[in-house]
Amino acid sequence: MRISIVSTATCTLLLPISIGLVAGLTGSQAHAQALEQCPSPAPASPKAVISEKALADVCIPTGFHSLPIDFFDDYSWRAFLGLVWPAKPGERGMPDASAKLSDSGRPLVFETFKSDWEIFQPDGAAPAAWNTVGGANPCKLAGVSSDDLVLAAFSKFNNLGQAGFTPRLVGPLVAQNRTYVRFQTAFNKTEFDQIDHDKLYLRDNLKGTMTFQPGAIDIKAAWIDMTGIAHPERFYTRAAYLIDLATEACSKSKVGLVGLHIVQKTPSRPQWIWSSFEQVDNIVESDSQAPATFNADNNEPMPDENPYGFPPPVQVPAAFNVDRLKPIHENTVRTNEIYRKLLAEVGVPWQFYKLVVTQWPIPVASPAVDGNPNNTFPGKGLDQSAFANLTMETFDQKKTISGCMNCHNVTRKTTDFLWSLNTRAFPPIQAVTAHAALAEKSVTTLALPNTQLKNWAQVLPANESFQLPAAQLSEFQALKELMEAAQSQSAE
């Protein structure tokens, strides 16, 4: 049986991130960010707090039987604040407890996580130690530290393509200032240590069932070039290395954060908790200020699908309008108002960010239960509110079948919901598909779309032997079926 897939996973490639460790973890994990334990008894309603300490788990009081969205959303906000806190100098992924949230000009905790390009090195080389930035970097810079933000990939387009539920990558997201959104993926120390120790960056080591430890966190961030942005004071901004698609040279530019997706594993939710934040001016909404970043406010509707393919054009094309197709849950709106008011009193740009959704597995402490929409909130029959980040999942807003947990559920056994391992372990899936297409094999190979053959033909020589582990083949087959089902439902 031959199956066709795209060159990277077609759901958003989120990496599990850890803000800190649950009490009781030992060894190198003891140096990860300290988490605040739930009080006993847990309060009847959550209390908003601005702190560098994220919660170790969702603090739901005993006997609470209503929809616990307020507790999950409070957990998400605490996670967000812990990640955007100024980092401790010299210790990646650690907040500086002596710093204030308003301190500027310093790297933030999530910015010092281990980047995907640091972990998945060319030729499968081992990554450098946690506090070290070593090996190759996409910009070929002589010296890079964890204080630097490199928004580039070893293949110049790979941090520009947006994922979506179609048989192909849906292409880039273009801001109204006619620049591409750049995506960043990174892991906290808890997650990185396990990847490093078990050499999970090599595909041969992804054959069995693996599980990440509680406290693991990964993030996906969306950034824009701030050129021409009317109200930069409403964004968190910093300098970052961006690659020029025409010259393939990197230089520093001012970028602004427009989206942050956080995935965290806790003892009560081993299928991870999925939290997604956006800058409030992304589109025209009640809390936004014109001009919007991704909508021209000209009454033109958002396209049904991305008008641009992958790889995207070197010259950035015209922008299209982005809309939110499902409203943010009313409880989430109230929690946002509480936190944004506190942040406005502090006087930080984080007052202009909001939680879009927290998605979680409904069963408590039940790792055997999968992450399909029957077992999640939002989920099947509960998808009237938003479950997609406009900057990362622009065209996956209609059905929860295309939501984060259901997509990542496909790879939960071999990589514990983590698609980035399944697609980026060496040899990367691009090489696997290129080899399959050139060798014309079947059963344990994956067919590459003809339009991609020219791009990937030189990734892996046709005469080089490669075997895709059977478990991963089944996962990609399941992903293909999931994509087809999502496409069919979207057409209804």
Kindly report, residue by residue over 430-449, the tens digit of the pLDDT: 666 555 544 444 334 444 33
* Kind plus residue range of the DSSP H or E element containing 346: helix 330-346
Residue 24: pLDDT band (50, 70, 90) is very low
In the chain, the percentage of residues whose pLDDT exceeds 70 is: 79
- pLDDT of residue 404 exceeding 50, the answer is yes
Q: What average pLDDT does this structure show over 320-340?
A: 98
Strand partners of residue 202: 426
pTM of the full predicted structure?
0.85
Lowest-pLDDT range, 98-102, 163-167, 179-183, 408-412? 163-167
Distances (CA, A) of 298 to 115, 179, 301: 38, 19, 9
Q: What average pLDDT does this structure show over 343-369?
A: 96
- pLDDT of residue 188 exceeding 90, the answer is yes
pLDDT for 411 equals: 79
Residue 31: pLDDT band (50, 70, 90) is low
pLDDT for 421 equals: 86
Tokens of 208: 């069995």
Provide, for the chain, the percentages of residues in helix, strand and coil under a 3-state DSSP scheme, each rounded to the nearest 5: 25, 15, 60
- pLDDT of residue 216 exceeding 70, the answer is yes
Q: What average pLDDT does this structure show over 60-74?
A: 96
pLDDT for 449 equals: 38
Q: What is the mean pLDDT of the chain?
A: 84
Tokens of 379: 């989920």
Residues whose CB falls within 8 Å of the CB of residue 25, separated by 6 or more in sequence, listed in order = 32, 190, 213, 214, 215
- pLDDT of residue 58 exceeding 90, the answer is yes
Q: What letter represents residue 109's amino acid?
A: V
Residue 469: pLDDT band (50, 70, 90) is low
- pLDDT of residue 21 exceeding 60, the answer is no
Residue 420 or residue 238, greater confidence: 238
